[in-house]
Copies of this chain bind each other. A is one copy, B any other.
Amino acid sequence: MSGSSFGTIFRVTTWGESHGPGVGVVIDGCPAGLSLQAEDIQVFLDRRRPGQSKYTTKRNETDTVEILSGVFEGMTTGTPISLLIRNQDQRSKDYGNIATLFRPGHADYPFTEKYGFRDYRGGGRSSGRETIGRVAAGAVASLLLKELGITVRAYTKAIGPVTVEEKDYCYDHITQNSLYMPNNDAAEQAGKYITSLMAKCDSCGGIIECTADGLPVGLGEPVFDKLDALLAQAVMSVGAVKGVEIGEGFAASASVGSVNNDSFFSEPADTASDKGSSLTSKEDPRRLIHKKTNHAGGVLGGMSDGSRLILRAAVKPTSSIAQPQHTVDIHGNNTEIVIRGRHDPVIVPRAVVVVESMTALTLADLLLRNLASRMDNIKKVYN
């Protein structure tokens, strides 16, 4: 339990570094009876694959997944699902010049202090390739959620200073531009911004937003494993993320209670709209309870409240830039570093599916944990 596992029941353990034989993940606790094919996972992996646009690294890796266990005749068996993705394009020589230098913004220095030395090839375990295991497992979690009517969707809300306001969202656009922004015009503008930075050997960051619809009310375990708390851990654990917020987030800190509180409303079940933001009260199945506003982002008291779940992650600018930077070598000498190799000028587009995957993993686990919350649910299973 040294940090490579996430989840309590639906529990994933990732392994692997950028320039070793491969990367992978073991999913323990996936229920039996879920239809699963390698292609279901491949779709997710292809979304984070490099080489897809002019804004991503030109490394060409197919990242093909192999299911090593836990699936029999196309169904999960309840036993651990082991997924392997071999590393292919390992141009170690690109990284030779950084073996003895601490790259600014990277994990090199604390890694060396923590473990006494480090695998200096391409970032090793701190490489972005580490997220492949997360995405492969997130694909499985997403299939499980889908079976229960839950959908998770992430997209790029901002690239550097180019932000898409909610009123301008066109969800269809997300898959129409290579930046995964919900507005093609904004994406074009952002593309120009990135191009201008590339010319200066510089990089930028952005904001990823992720939503989930169809959640049952009550997911999240008070008090430390609240839905928002585990989402914060899940998303902040992604390499370049420096901030996480739910619903209004930081803006709520400057609001007032009379505005920020979301009132509850109910309506007869037969006239209610079928939107994700309304749901049946188990107290009275004839009436639907919902909120007309959603400053809370779908989380109250650390539990899902039936409204759309909304979270945002702040992604820092790519640390690997080709400009000369001041740094120190492993012997403590002041020096300069120039990072060569093929690096994304912005990792936001490729991180979108990673944030979506971490959200799916968190939700899948909390769904399974929540099964034990009430005696009446337990009796449904055992009687």
Segment from A9-17, A39-47, A174-182 that makes contact with B: A9-17
Cα distance, A331 to B84, chains bound together (Å): 37
Segment from A49-57, A164-172, A374-382 that makes contact with B: A374-382
Which residue in B33, B203, B296 is a CB contact (below 8 Å) of A116?
B33
Q: Is the CB of B32 within 8 A of A253?
A: no
Cα distance, A318 to B144, chains bound together (Å): 36
Q: Is the CB of A261 within 8 A of B325?
A: yes
Q: How far is the CB of A15 from chain B (nearest CB, A)?
A: 4
Which residue in B8, B26, B316 is a CB contact (below 8 Å) of A253?
B316
Which residue in B6, B113, B158, B257 is a CB contact (below 8 Å) of A224?
B6
**Interface residue? A317 (CB, 8 A):** yes
Interface residues of A in 259-290 (CB under 8 A from B): 259-266, 281-284, 286-287, 289
Chain B minimum-CB-distance residue to A243 = B245
Q: Would you give the 0/1 interface string for A207-237, flagging 1 where the beta carbon is closer than 8 Å to chain B?
A: 1000000001111111111101111111111
Q: Would you give the 0/1 interface string for A333-348, flagging 1 where the beta carbon is closer than 8 Å to chain B?
A: 1100000000000000
Q: How far is the CB of A240 from chain B (nearest CB, A)?
A: 9
Q: Is the CB of B286 within 8 A of A332?
A: yes
Chain B minimum-CB-distance residue to A284 = B332
With A321-B258, A371-B372: A243-B244 Cβ-Cβ less than 8 Å: yes
Q: How far is the CB of A31 from chain B (nearest CB, A)?
A: 5
**Interface residue? A247 (CB, 8 A):** yes
Q: Is the CB of B4 within 8 A of A222?
A: yes
Cα distance, A287 to B148, chains bound together (Å): 32
Chain B minimum-CB-distance residue to A286 = B332
Q: Is the CB of B233 within 8 A of A242?
A: no
Chain B residues with Cβ under 8 A from A378's Cβ?
31, 148, 367-368, 371
**Interface residue? A96 (CB, 8 A):** no
Which residue in B6, B15, B158 is a CB contact (below 8 Å) of A254?
B158
Q: Is the CB of B317 within 8 A of A257?
A: yes
**Interface residue? A80 (CB, 8 A):** yes
Chain B residues with Cβ under 8 A from A370's Cβ?
114
Chain B residues with Cβ under 8 A from A28's Cβ?
1-5, 13, 15
**Interface residue? A104 (CB, 8 A):** yes
Chain B minimum-CB-distance residue to A207 = B253
Cα distance, A82 to B260, chains bound together (Å): 35
Q: How far is the CB of A106 from chain B (nearest CB, A)?
A: 7
**Interface residue? A112 (CB, 8 A):** yes
Q: Is the CB of B68 within 8 A of A24?
A: yes
Q: Is the CB of A256 within 8 A of B160?
A: yes
Cα distance, A207 to B252, chains bound together (Å): 10
Chain B residues with Cβ under 8 A from A352's Cβ?
none
Chain B residues with Cβ under 8 A from A282's Cβ?
113, 116
**Interface residue? A246 (CB, 8 A):** yes
Chain B minimum-CB-distance residue to A102 = B264
Known A72-B124, A242-B252; further 11 A-B contacts with Cβ < 8 A? A2-B78, A3-B225, A3-B226, A4-B80, A15-B82, A16-B82, A77-B115, A242-B250, A258-B321, A263-B326, A264-B327
Q: Top 4 nearest A-B pairs by Cβ distance?
A: A107-B301, A3-B221, A114-B218, A243-B245
Q: Could you list 15 examples of A-B contacts with CB < 8 Å? A: A15-B79, A26-B26, A109-B289, A110-B303, A113-B281, A147-B379, A148-B382, A203-B256, A207-B253, A229-B234, A245-B250, A264-B326, A264-B327, A265-B334, A283-B331
